[in-house]
Copies of this chain bind each other. A is one copy, B any other.
Amino acid sequence: MDSSDDGARGALTEEDAPSAAFADDGKNTIGSQLASRLREAIISGELEAGSKINLDRARKTFNVSLSPLREGLARLISDGLVEFQDNRGYRVAPISLANLEEVTTLREELEVFALRESIRVGDVEWEGNIMRALHRLNRTERDAARPETLEHWEALHREFHLTLISGCGKPLLLHFCNLLLNLNDRYRRAFLVRTSGDRNVGQEHSEIAQGAVARDVEYACEKLRQHIHRTGTNLRNHLATKGVA
Protein backbone atom coordinates (compact mmCIF):
# COMPACT_ATOMS: atom_id res chain seq x y z
CA MET A 1 0.00 0.00 0.00
CA ASP A 2 2.69 2.49 0.88
CA SER A 3 4.53 1.66 -2.25
CA SER A 4 3.11 4.87 -3.60
CA ASP A 5 3.68 6.95 -0.52
CA ASP A 6 7.38 7.31 -0.56
CA GLY A 7 7.18 10.63 1.15
CA ALA A 8 9.00 13.20 -0.90
CA ARG A 9 8.28 13.02 -4.55
CA GLY A 10 7.70 15.13 -7.58
CA ALA A 11 8.92 18.67 -7.36
CA LEU A 12 10.08 18.15 -3.83
CA THR A 13 12.72 15.60 -4.61
CA GLU A 14 14.81 17.79 -6.85
CA GLU A 15 15.00 20.62 -4.36
CA ASP A 16 16.56 19.02 -1.36
CA ALA A 17 18.59 15.85 -1.30
CA PRO A 18 21.91 17.53 -2.01
CA SER A 19 23.87 15.45 0.47
CA ALA A 20 22.68 11.87 0.75
CA ALA A 21 25.23 9.62 -0.81
CA PHE A 22 22.59 6.90 -1.01
CA ALA A 23 19.76 9.05 -2.27
CA ASP A 24 18.72 6.78 -5.10
CA ASP A 25 16.31 4.79 -2.99
CA GLY A 26 12.82 4.98 -4.35
CA LYS A 27 12.85 5.98 -8.00
CA ASN A 28 14.85 3.19 -9.44
CA THR A 29 12.72 1.27 -11.82
CA ILE A 30 11.25 2.72 -14.98
CA GLY A 31 7.82 1.89 -13.64
CA SER A 32 8.40 4.06 -10.58
CA GLN A 33 9.75 6.95 -12.55
CA LEU A 34 6.80 6.76 -14.86
CA ALA A 35 4.42 6.73 -11.92
CA SER A 36 5.99 9.95 -10.64
CA ARG A 37 5.94 11.66 -13.99
CA LEU A 38 2.40 10.62 -14.69
CA ARG A 39 1.25 11.66 -11.25
CA GLU A 40 2.69 15.10 -11.72
CA ALA A 41 1.25 15.27 -15.22
CA ILE A 42 -2.22 14.45 -13.94
CA ILE A 43 -2.21 16.64 -10.85
CA SER A 44 -0.85 19.56 -12.82
CA GLY A 45 -3.55 19.15 -15.42
CA GLU A 46 -1.11 18.42 -18.19
CA LEU A 47 -3.11 15.28 -18.79
CA GLU A 48 -6.73 16.29 -19.08
CA ALA A 49 -9.16 14.91 -16.53
CA GLY A 50 -11.35 12.17 -17.94
CA SER A 51 -9.27 11.71 -21.05
CA LYS A 52 -8.33 8.30 -22.33
CA ILE A 53 -4.76 7.16 -22.02
CA ASN A 54 -3.68 5.49 -25.20
CA LEU A 55 -1.01 2.96 -24.34
CA ASP A 56 0.65 2.98 -27.71
CA ARG A 57 0.90 6.73 -27.81
CA ALA A 58 2.08 6.93 -24.22
CA ARG A 59 4.63 4.24 -24.94
CA LYS A 60 6.12 6.37 -27.68
CA THR A 61 5.86 9.60 -25.74
CA PHE A 62 7.80 8.23 -22.82
CA ASN A 63 10.05 5.95 -24.84
CA VAL A 64 9.29 2.89 -22.81
CA SER A 65 7.81 -0.51 -23.26
CA LEU A 66 4.31 -1.55 -22.28
CA SER A 67 5.28 -3.39 -19.11
CA PRO A 68 6.63 -0.46 -17.10
CA LEU A 69 3.91 1.75 -18.51
CA ARG A 70 1.21 -0.51 -17.15
CA GLU A 71 3.18 -0.80 -13.96
CA GLY A 72 3.20 2.95 -13.49
CA LEU A 73 -0.44 3.36 -14.37
CA ALA A 74 -1.42 0.61 -11.96
CA ARG A 75 0.13 2.58 -9.12
CA LEU A 76 -1.82 5.68 -9.98
CA ILE A 77 -4.98 3.66 -9.60
CA SER A 78 -4.16 3.28 -5.92
CA ASP A 79 -3.81 7.02 -5.83
CA GLY A 80 -7.25 7.52 -7.29
CA LEU A 81 -5.82 9.45 -10.22
CA VAL A 82 -6.40 6.82 -12.89
CA GLU A 83 -9.32 4.56 -13.65
CA PHE A 84 -9.15 1.24 -15.36
CA GLN A 85 -11.47 -1.16 -17.10
CA ASP A 86 -10.74 -4.62 -18.42
CA ASN A 87 -9.93 -4.64 -22.08
CA ARG A 88 -10.72 -0.99 -22.28
CA GLY A 89 -7.61 0.46 -20.82
CA TYR A 90 -6.87 3.41 -18.63
CA ARG A 91 -8.20 6.91 -18.38
CA VAL A 92 -7.41 9.92 -16.24
CA ALA A 93 -9.86 10.06 -13.36
CA PRO A 94 -12.54 12.62 -14.20
CA ILE A 95 -13.24 15.66 -12.09
CA SER A 96 -16.68 16.84 -11.09
CA LEU A 97 -18.47 19.01 -8.61
CA ALA A 98 -19.67 15.91 -6.77
CA ASN A 99 -16.16 14.54 -6.52
CA LEU A 100 -14.76 17.83 -5.26
CA GLU A 101 -17.44 17.99 -2.61
CA GLU A 102 -16.74 14.46 -1.51
CA VAL A 103 -13.03 15.09 -1.35
CA THR A 104 -13.63 18.17 0.74
CA THR A 105 -16.03 16.42 3.07
CA LEU A 106 -13.72 13.48 3.57
CA ARG A 107 -10.78 15.75 4.17
CA GLU A 108 -12.76 17.48 6.88
CA GLU A 109 -13.49 14.13 8.45
CA LEU A 110 -10.17 12.38 8.03
CA GLU A 111 -7.59 15.13 8.22
CA VAL A 112 -9.23 16.61 11.26
CA PHE A 113 -9.39 13.21 12.89
CA ALA A 114 -5.74 12.62 12.04
CA LEU A 115 -4.79 15.98 13.51
CA ARG A 116 -6.70 15.18 16.67
CA GLU A 117 -4.80 11.92 17.00
CA SER A 118 -1.51 13.60 16.20
CA ILE A 119 -2.01 16.13 18.95
CA ARG A 120 -2.82 13.29 21.29
CA VAL A 121 0.19 11.11 20.59
CA GLY A 122 2.63 13.19 18.54
CA ASP A 123 6.06 13.74 20.03
CA VAL A 124 8.33 16.76 20.19
CA GLU A 125 9.95 15.94 16.88
CA TRP A 126 6.54 16.10 15.28
CA GLU A 127 6.07 19.58 16.75
CA GLY A 128 9.40 20.65 15.37
CA ASN A 129 8.58 19.31 11.94
CA ILE A 130 5.41 21.37 11.90
CA MET A 131 7.22 24.57 12.74
CA ARG A 132 9.78 23.93 10.06
CA ALA A 133 7.16 23.12 7.43
CA LEU A 134 5.18 26.22 8.39
CA HIS A 135 8.21 28.43 8.15
CA ARG A 136 9.25 27.14 4.79
CA LEU A 137 5.72 27.53 3.49
CA ASN A 138 5.22 31.06 4.76
CA ARG A 139 8.57 32.12 3.36
CA THR A 140 7.57 31.10 -0.11
CA GLU A 141 5.58 33.36 -2.34
CA ARG A 142 3.17 32.18 -4.97
CA ASP A 143 3.82 34.14 -8.10
CA ALA A 144 1.21 33.34 -10.71
CA ALA A 145 3.49 34.65 -13.39
CA ARG A 146 6.11 31.99 -12.81
CA PRO A 147 4.74 28.46 -12.89
CA GLU A 148 7.77 26.97 -11.23
CA THR A 149 7.08 28.97 -8.07
CA LEU A 150 3.53 27.68 -8.08
CA GLU A 151 4.81 24.15 -8.23
CA HIS A 152 7.20 24.81 -5.44
CA TRP A 153 4.52 26.35 -3.28
CA GLU A 154 2.23 23.41 -3.94
CA ALA A 155 4.90 21.01 -2.81
CA LEU A 156 5.50 22.93 0.39
CA HIS A 157 1.80 23.32 1.05
CA ARG A 158 1.26 19.64 0.64
CA GLU A 159 4.21 18.95 2.87
CA PHE A 160 2.76 21.21 5.56
CA HIS A 161 -0.59 19.47 5.60
CA LEU A 162 0.98 16.04 5.67
CA THR A 163 3.36 17.04 8.44
CA LEU A 164 0.49 18.34 10.54
CA ILE A 165 -1.03 14.88 10.68
CA SER A 166 2.18 12.87 10.47
CA GLY A 167 2.27 12.32 14.22
CA CYS A 168 -0.92 10.30 14.42
CA GLY A 169 0.76 6.91 14.21
CA LYS A 170 -1.82 5.52 11.80
CA PRO A 171 -0.31 4.51 8.45
CA LEU A 172 -3.59 3.65 6.81
CA LEU A 173 -5.16 6.91 7.82
CA LEU A 174 -2.17 8.77 6.47
CA HIS A 175 -2.48 6.87 3.23
CA PHE A 176 -6.10 7.95 2.88
CA CYS A 177 -5.25 11.56 3.64
CA ASN A 178 -2.39 11.51 1.19
CA LEU A 179 -4.71 10.24 -1.48
CA LEU A 180 -7.32 12.90 -0.73
CA LEU A 181 -4.66 15.57 -0.86
CA ASN A 182 -3.63 14.35 -4.30
CA LEU A 183 -7.16 14.62 -5.55
CA ASN A 184 -7.66 17.98 -3.95
CA ASP A 185 -4.49 19.47 -5.33
CA ARG A 186 -5.62 18.66 -8.81
CA TYR A 187 -8.59 20.95 -8.40
CA ARG A 188 -6.49 23.73 -7.00
CA ARG A 189 -3.87 23.48 -9.69
CA ALA A 190 -6.59 23.58 -12.28
CA PHE A 191 -8.75 26.37 -10.99
CA LEU A 192 -7.15 28.41 -8.30
CA VAL A 193 -4.57 30.83 -9.48
CA ARG A 194 -4.97 33.05 -6.47
CA THR A 195 -6.97 32.86 -3.27
CA SER A 196 -9.99 35.01 -2.89
CA GLY A 197 -9.30 38.39 -1.31
CA ASP A 198 -10.98 37.82 2.00
CA ARG A 199 -8.62 35.09 3.02
CA ASN A 200 -5.20 35.21 4.52
CA VAL A 201 -4.15 31.66 3.92
CA GLY A 202 -0.78 32.22 5.50
CA GLN A 203 -2.40 33.23 8.75
CA GLU A 204 -4.77 30.27 8.61
CA HIS A 205 -1.82 27.92 8.38
CA SER A 206 -0.09 29.66 11.23
CA GLU A 207 -3.11 29.41 13.49
CA ILE A 208 -3.48 25.71 12.83
CA ALA A 209 0.18 25.10 13.50
CA GLN A 210 0.18 27.18 16.68
CA GLY A 211 -2.83 25.31 17.98
CA ALA A 212 -1.25 21.98 17.17
CA VAL A 213 2.05 22.53 18.94
CA ALA A 214 0.20 24.13 21.87
CA ARG A 215 -1.80 20.89 22.05
CA ASP A 216 -5.04 22.81 21.92
CA VAL A 217 -7.12 20.10 20.26
CA GLU A 218 -10.37 21.94 19.77
CA TYR A 219 -8.82 25.14 18.53
CA ALA A 220 -6.46 23.48 16.08
CA CYS A 221 -9.04 21.05 14.74
CA GLU A 222 -11.64 23.72 14.24
CA LYS A 223 -9.17 25.96 12.44
CA LEU A 224 -8.14 23.10 10.19
CA ARG A 225 -11.72 22.20 9.46
CA GLN A 226 -12.53 25.77 8.50
CA HIS A 227 -9.41 25.96 6.37
CA ILE A 228 -10.39 22.86 4.43
CA HIS A 229 -13.98 23.96 4.15
CA ARG A 230 -13.09 27.40 2.83
CA THR A 231 -10.77 25.95 0.27
CA GLY A 232 -13.54 23.62 -0.83
CA THR A 233 -16.04 26.45 -1.19
CA ASN A 234 -13.51 28.48 -3.08
CA LEU A 235 -12.72 25.70 -5.50
CA ARG A 236 -16.37 24.91 -5.98
CA ASN A 237 -17.03 28.45 -7.11
CA HIS A 238 -14.20 28.34 -9.59
CA LEU A 239 -15.35 24.98 -10.84
CA ALA A 240 -18.92 26.20 -11.29
CA THR A 241 -17.62 29.21 -13.18
CA LYS A 242 -15.86 26.93 -15.58
CA GLY A 243 -19.10 25.12 -16.18
CA VAL A 244 -18.10 21.73 -14.90
CA ALA A 245 -21.00 19.59 -13.74
Judging by beta carbons under 8 Å apart, are B106 and A109 in contact?
Answer: no
Judging by beta carbons under 8 Å apart, are A106 and B28 in contact?
Answer: no
Interface 9-residue window, one of A14-22, A158-166, A171-179, A227-235:
A171-179
Chain B residue nearest to A109 (CB atoms) is B113
Chain B residue nearest to A175 (CB atoms) is B80
Interface 9-residue window, one of A37-45, A47-55, A84-92, A146-154:
A84-92
Judging by beta carbons under 8 Å apart, are A27 and B74 in contact?
Answer: no
A70 part of interface (Cβ distance < 8 Å):
yes
Residue from the list B1, B83, B86, B180 in contact with A32, Cβ < 8 A = B86
* Distance of A86 Cα from B24 Cα, bound (Å): 11
A97 part of interface (Cβ distance < 8 Å):
no
Residue from the list B1, B67, B87, B93 in contact with A80, Cβ < 8 A = B1
Chain B residue nearest to A1 (CB atoms) is B80
A138 → chain B closest CB, angstroms: 31
A78 part of interface (Cβ distance < 8 Å):
yes
Judging by beta carbons under 8 Å apart, are B172 and A87 in contact?
Answer: no
A238 → chain B closest CB, angstroms: 21
A195 part of interface (Cβ distance < 8 Å):
no
A43 → chain B closest CB, angstroms: 15
A3 part of interface (Cβ distance < 8 Å):
yes
CB neighbours (8 Å) of A83 from chain B are 1-3
A140 part of interface (Cβ distance < 8 Å):
no
A199 part of interface (Cβ distance < 8 Å):
no
A239 → chain B closest CB, angstroms: 17
Chain B residue nearest to A25 (CB atoms) is B86
Residues of chain A touching chain B, judged by Cβ–Cβ distance below 8 Å, are 1-4, 26-29, 31-32, 67, 70-71, 74-75, 77-78, 80, 83-87, 93, 99, 102-103, 105-106, 109-110, 113, 170-173, 175-176, 180, 183
